Structure 1
Amino acid sequence: MTRVEQVNQKRRGRRAAGEDTRAALIAAAREVFTEKGFDGATVRAIAARAGVDAAMVNHWFGGKEGLFAQAVLQVPIDPAEIIKRLLDGPVDQLGERIIRTFLTIWDATGGGAFAAMVRSVTSNDKVASALRELFVNTIFRNLTGHLGVDRADLRATLCATQMIGLGMVRYVVHFEPLASADVEALVNAIGPNLQRYLTGDLD
């Protein structure tokens, strides 16, 4: 093996180790932010959970906010794929599909990143902006645009409040019996209300 090949092999080894460290920090951050919210989570606690030196947070992410953006503000599924999935079916069942889709995604991680966002939204403007961008602009304004309905912006905002409120009650404050209710029970109970926001008479 030539000296150049040896150097390249070492570099590849260091890069893999670095990627492992970065992945470990992101995984630990998701857990700690979910448990503590943005303000309650510390760089030291996240690093300890990941089993790495706290200096690695600054090295890889530039600080706690950068790590939060990577670990939490990432959508667990491509929004374009969500919209495509929601629009695949009868329009008069869209409200039900929305409830079913989001609860299925969130239930898989116990609320996961969404719960962390909601815990942090009152104390961090960037989180509030990210939450608004995701639900109002990226998802529901796209849906109302596809539907061609009147008062599209109001409808999108109403839908966002329904879903964020549902997520907060189910995963953050754990109001029973909603917190442990079967997904289909919530689809049947909340879907019609969401459907009215989307296509019904708002007056």
Structure 2
Amino acid sequence: MSEDAAPSATVGRAPQRRGRRPGAPDTRAAILAAARTSFAATGFAGTSIRSVAAAAGVDPALVHHYFGTKDDLFLAALELRVDPRVARLPVLEGGPEHAGRRIMELFVSVWDDEETRLPLLALVRGAVEPGGARLVQDGFFRLVLRPIGDAFDLDQPDRRMALVASQLFGLIVVRYVLALEPLASAPASELVATYAPVLQGYLTAPLP
């Protein structure tokens, strides 16, 4: 089984595995602890199923059995309630035209939902801790934004998606972390109308 095999989930929520034993709590906890440590220290690219298994003292097949692919293990380590690989799919529909609006609609649908927002807030607040920034970068940029830039075949995709990320992270801090008014209580429709043209410019307008 490839560590980076594509998932087959079809819903936005993080997939709930069926037909697998839940596993001994101590074993699962040891695997997740080893995974979090490795992802934080060396990033997604520097982490392997084998290295996580070795650190947890288990066979690599057991990691696959409990968590599936490396992407699945990464999402489990982040404790997210939404699978970004699935959530990003509506953004890709229709190509780059109006993609700024679709990104904003996805953004507010996830962040305005308390159930999905709380784990994300914990992840963002942890960005100042050792290794936290790497987890945020891999979780947000690698799993959500970079695939969008690649799918649209944009020129300078990393630069464009970094600009998108700067806008979204700024909004996360102002609206959800600092709760600065009037943005903290602004309706979702207002946020979409305000920020979608800005994001669209980052995506498709000529860059300076």
Instruction: Look up the equivalent residue of 1:159 and give its one-letter code.
Output: V
CA RMSD in angstroms comes to: 2.8
Q: 1:151 to 1:134 in 2, by over 3 A?
A: same
8 Å CA contact 1:83, 1:139 repeated in 2:
yes
Q: Tell me whether 1:180 sits opposite 2:193 in the alignment.
A: no
Deviations 1:17-40 (A, max 9, x none): x98xx6xxxxxxxxxxxxxxxxxx
- 1:79 counterpart residue number: 84
Any unmatched runs of 5+ in structure 1?
1-14, 23-57
1:90: Cα distance to partner?
A: 5.6
- 1:92 counterpart residue number: 97
8 Å CA contact 1:61, 1:67 repeated in 2:
no
Q: How does 1:98-177 map to 2 (within 5 A)?
A: 98-109=103-114, 111-125=117-131, 127-177=132-182
Cα separation, 2, equivalents of 1:101 and 1:174: 20
Which structure has the larger Rg over C-alpha atoms?
1
Instruction: Look up the equivalent residue of 1:124 and give its one-letter code.
Output: P
Cα separation, 1, equivalents of 2:203 and 2:86: 19
Q: 1:183 to 1:67 in 2, by over 3 A?
A: farther
Any unmatched runs of 5+ in structure 2?
1-20, 37-73
The secondary structure found in structure 2 opposite 1:136 is helix
Instruction: Look up the equivalent residue of 2:29 and give its one-letter code.
Output: F
Deviations 1:25-78 (A, max 9, x none): xxxxxxxxxxxxxxxxxxxxxxxxxxxxxxxxx775249956978777133322
8 Å CA contact 1:144, 1:156 repeated in 2:
yes
Deviations 1:70-108 (A, max 9, x none): 777133322221221111236321111111112111211
Question: Aligned residue pairs: how many?
Answer: 150
- 2:194 counterpart residue number: 189
Cα separation, 2, equivalents of 1:120 and 1:148: 32
Identity %: 31
Cα separation, 2, equivalents of 1:182 and 1:146: 30
TM-score of the aligned structures, taking structure 2 as reference length: 0.62
